[in-house]
Amino acid sequence: MTFIIRSSLAAIFMTMLVACGGGNDSPADIDMTAEQANGPKDYIAVYEKQLLIIAEAVESVADEESAQKAAAIIRDASSELEIVATKADGMSQMEKARFAMSYATNLADTQMRLMEAMTKLASTDPETVQLISDAMDELPSPVEE
């Protein structure tokens, strides 16, 4: 069940992250790293790229060995997301809300793909899903206390 919670947290994190301010006038650079990200559009590009990487990793799981590889990929993606989350922390709540409205639908397909991959894996191979869930636990928390 941890993976479902983490998937939900990822969705919340996306909402908070995409709410970083700015508009959606032009496409962002999907090849950008978190270190290179400079502004809301870049944060979204990095976030979406990392979600896609995580989704592909989860979809590739067929056994324990591939689950371990996927977990390593998820941990790497988590590091990128942590950098972006730190950069986005400086945005005001108003900017976050405005940006969330601008980009939420753009990322819905990517989020659904990840949630569907986790759900499918949980139903077909509950033992290996724990390896993935442990890695997903390392994703940055969407709630700062």
- Condensed to tens digits (0 to 9), the pLDDT of residues 72-93 reads 999 999 999 999 888 888 888 8
The separation between CA 75 and the C-alpha centre of its own chain, rounded to angstroms, equals 11
For 54, the 3-state DSSP assignment is: helix
In the numeric block, the tokens 């979809």 are attached to 59
- Sorted by where each begins, the domain ranges of the chain are 2-20+38-136
- What integer pLDDT is reported at residue 59 of this predicted model? 94
Q: Higher-confidence residue: 80 or 30?
A: 80
pLDDT of residue 24 exceeding 60: no
Q: Which two tokens stand for residue 77?
A: 């993606």
- What integer pLDDT is reported at residue 28 of this predicted model? 41
Contact 79, 140 (CB under 8 A): no
The separation between CA 98 and the C-alpha centre of its own chain, rounded to angstroms, equals 20
Give the whole-angstrom CA distance, residue 31 versus residue 108: 20
